[in-house]
Amino acid sequence: MEDEVIHSKIVAIASGKGGVGKTVVSASLGVGLSMLGKKVVMLDADFGGANLHKVMGIEKSSQTFLDFYSYPYTRLNEILIEHPYFNNLRLAMGVGDSMALSNLQYYRRMKFIRHLDKIDADFIILDLGAGSSYNVMDFFLIADYGIVMINPETLSILDGYNFVKKAFFRKLAKTFKVHQEVSELIKESASDHTECKKTVVKNLLEKVKSLDGGMGEKMEKFIDGFHPMLIINKVDKSKDENKGLAVMVAAKKMLSIEMKYLGFIHKDDNVEESVEENIPFIFRDSRSRASKDLGKLILQNILNNGKMQSVMKQQKLVKEIEQKWKEDGSDVI
Ligand SMILES: Nc1ncnc2c1ncn2[C@@H]1O[C@H](COP(=O)(O)OP(=O)(O)O)[C@@H](O)[C@H]1O
Ligand SMILES: [Mg+2]
């Protein structure tokens, strides 16, 4: 029974740099889902600076990730603690700034990923560390909802784009690692900072296609199926949302990646005050702007993802029709 594989939806929130709001939004996302009756497990996967438990109002626990990694037979299930106030919500606590855990060895990362399958929940939320270490990227890449969070600042936007790029090339390289020539081309493109910057993945695809048609097709399918998601947090002015959307435009233009936009969350005093009080902001004041934004995002884009995917497919179809129309257009005229 214990080793049964359960298919929970894994949500992982990453960002280029720290301080964008991953932890506070993860906490409120978990609480929001649990209040809607979903079984939620929250994992503090920021092994270098764990603070999710604090934001969730928990001081300490007898079990942490240190136990999970120190003892080979300890299961992830065993370090989960029930939240004292919220129903349906369990949490695995990290440890302050543990050097031992901040850059996990490969076998420890694999243990974590293996054990995720055995957790009984509707949603597992991973609050990731900042940056693009292998820990962060590999957890991001196994998620059903791999979310990149940014703020509407130029640096944060660039960091967010860079994160998407690194994660994309890591998964691409892993997928094609058995094909040596294709792997070489991927490596070249990933480190290409000069030539044809604007269409780096399109160029790669063309090269792979002329090398091996079948591989080209496989890569095209891979790109079509890669949809990292975006949340813009701390939106203040009306133009902030558009500014943040630049990440999606850049990913499309340079990497040929279609990101999914989940929505934005306003900059809101309720969030800052909730951190002071160690209460997730959605619970502290469910009518504040940030809480309403997150509520809408959960209802429309997290719980209704199936519907969204079919809308995405239709949009793709429309694009294909448009493209065909353009191509055939000259003949018609
Ligand atoms: N929507 C928001 N409005 C106002 N302040 C916010 C908002 N989101 C996050 N913050 C502030 O940003 C700080 C950093 O958030 P945190 O979740 O710890 O970031 P990260 O986990 O990405 O490093 C929080 O202490 C909070 O005060
Ligand atoms: Mg954090």
Kind of pairing, strands 89-92 and 40-45? Answer: parallel
Return the ∠ at Cα 262 (arms to 256 and 268), rounded to 5°: 130
If you take atom 9 of ligand 1, which residue's CA is the nearest one? 21
CA trace torsion 298, 300, 302, 307 (10° rounding): 170
Q: Which residues contact 225 (CB under 8 A, 6 or more apart)?
A: none
Whether residue 288 has its Cβ less than 6 Å from ligand 1: no
What is the pLDDT at residue 48? 81
Alpha helices for the chain (secondary structure H)? 22-35, 52-55, 65-70, 99-102, 106-116, 134-142, 154-175, 180-190, 200-211, 213-224, 240-244, 246-255, 269-277, 281-284, 289-297, 305-332
Strands 80-82 and 89-92, how do they pair?
A: antiparallel
Return the best residue to mutate from 15, 24, 126 for the ligand 1 pocket (most ligand atoms within 8 A of CB). Answer: 24
Q: What is the pLDDT of residues 33-83, one digit of tens each?
A: 999 999 999 999 988 889 999 999 998 888 999 899 888 889 999 999 999
Which CA distances in Å does 278 have to 7, 44, 55, 318? Answer: 31, 16, 5, 46
Cβ 22 under 6 angstroms from ligand 1: yes
Q: pLDDT for 167-205, tens place per residue?
A: 999 999 999 999 999 999 999 998 876 555 667 899 999
Residues facing 41 on adjacent strands: 90, 124
The better pLDDT of the pair 48, 236 is held by 236
3-state SS class at 289: helix
Task: Find out whether the beta carbon of 293 lies less than 6 Å from any atom of ligand 1.
Answer: no
Quick check: CB of 21 below 6 Å from ligand 1? yes
Q: What domains sit in the chain, N to C, each tagged with a CATH number?
A: 9-161+227-324 (3.40.50.300)
The alpha carbon of 37 and the centre of ligand 1 are apart by a number of angstroms equal to 26
Taking a C-beta distance cutoff of 8 angstroms, is the pair 21, 229 a contact? no
Q: Is the CB of 164 under 6 A from ligand 1?
A: no
Averaged confidence pLDDT in the chain? 88
Supply the DSSP symbol for 118: T
List the single range of 84-98, 165-179, 230-244, 247-261 with lowest mean pLDDT: 84-98
State the Cα–Cα distance between residues 261 and 269, nearest whole angstrom.
Answer: 24
Residues 6+ apart with CB under 8 A from 224: 258
> What letter represents residue 278's amino acid?
N
